[in-house]
Structure 1
């Protein structure tokens, strides 16, 4: 499990034109759908007329060639000492090996347009046991010891 706290510079983001927001994410803001698609869970295309810009968050993450199970949760903690909103995401991801997460972060690197609107302020890596099956002889951690 990898966690990351990401501050979103909402004041800047909110002043950005919708077209630029879509191009930054590589998705349609209204639906979450990838470019040229209708549903949030439609497959992302890396080439062709329906592909996202090559500096978009979605394009760069997908081009890393690995997959993670990810989820983010919004947070809002009021106003910081500079008078800006302290809000953003708590991002979590599950992967078999931290190298998968690192590959995606390396692909995002300096080219990700999202970097204009976020600051990563903390990360953590945790080892988690896999789940258990319905087999009565299964238990948490069994695969580590078999």
Structure 2
């Protein structure tokens, strides 16, 4: 059986090492969570783009079959659309990330409490407040 060194438990250097290791573990977990979020976000954008491209391609194929487009024009349109969607994916992710950061900043910013000014007058409430009259409803089966 391994004997414990009692000095290790009291030693402040050892305590700092233990604390640092725990902190590193927490940071590692946080990093992994954010990486999972980024991966999910990228997958969601790719899935969305794939759906849009396939929908657009299906519409083009219908037009080719009906004789509105020829094969060459349809191929060019498909390529242009897929290129546009591929260039928009990074733009969407950057805009989404920026908006998310703005929302987080708004949530964590200290909110200023509006204090009434000394010179401002408070309007008085009306003395008599009349309740709204409730209309009597007839049951559904009686008309």
Question: Which bin holds the TM-score, normalised by the shorter protein?
Answer: under 0.3
In terms of fraction of residues, the more helix-rich structure is 2
Higher RCO structure, 1 or 2 (CA under 8 Å, sep 6+): 1
Structure with greater Cα Rg: 2
TM-score, structure 1 as length reference = 0.22
